[in-house]
Amino acid sequence: MNIIIDTHIFLWALSEPERINVAKREALEDLSNMIYVSAVSIAEIMIKASVGKLNIDFNPADLATESGFALLDFSVEAALLLKDMPFYHKDPFDRMLIAQSITDKFPIMTEDPKIALYDCRVI
């Protein structure tokens, strides 16, 4: 299965895997699954680091690939979907991940309950 992971799942997987429930950790570790870190998550991390909300001393794209995750570009098709999505969620990064999940037809792994309000599969 192809799975997009939300930014917090990515950061937890790197530094606090115990925060991820057992079923999700098993899905992350299952070698038959392709786990994607979106370019949206990389952008979110870098923006938060630039404004002092997150302290990082690593390249998140390099660390994602070194950790066995695949990188996923954000498409024009997903960007166009943003106009018609309801505003259940106001966070622009989460909205982009949701749009990507919908257009790519990949479930998204998250702990954010608002994401389940959209027409996407949530793990």
Structure tokens at 42: 């990389």
Structure tokens at 117: 């309000």
pLDDT digits (tens, 9 = 90+) for 100-123: 999 999 999 999 999 999 999 999
pLDDT cut 90: percent of the chain above it: 99
Q: What is the pLDDT of residue 83?
A: 96
Contacts by 66-72, CB closer than 8 A, 24 or more apart: 67/13, 67/14, 68/35, 69/5, 69/10, 69/35, 69/36, 69/37, 70/34, 70/35, 70/36, 70/37, 71/36, 71/37, 71/38, 71/39, 71/42, 72/4, 72/36, 72/37, 72/38, 72/39, 72/100, 72/104
- In this prediction the pTM is 0.94
Q: What is the pLDDT of residue 90?
A: 92
Q: What is the pLDDT of residue 106?
A: 98
Q: Please give the single-letter amino acid code of residue 58.
A: F
pLDDT digits (tens, 9 = 90+) for 64-105: 999 999 999 999 999 999 999 999 989 999 999 999 999 999
Instruction: State which CATH number among 3.40.50.1820, 3.40.50.1010, 3.30.930.10, 3.60.70.12 fits the domain covering 2-117.
Output: 3.40.50.1010
Task: Compute the mean pLDDT over every residue in the chain, rounded to the nearest whole number.
Answer: 97
Q: Are 6 and 116 in contact (CB under 8 A)?
A: no
Domain boundaries, the chain: 2-117
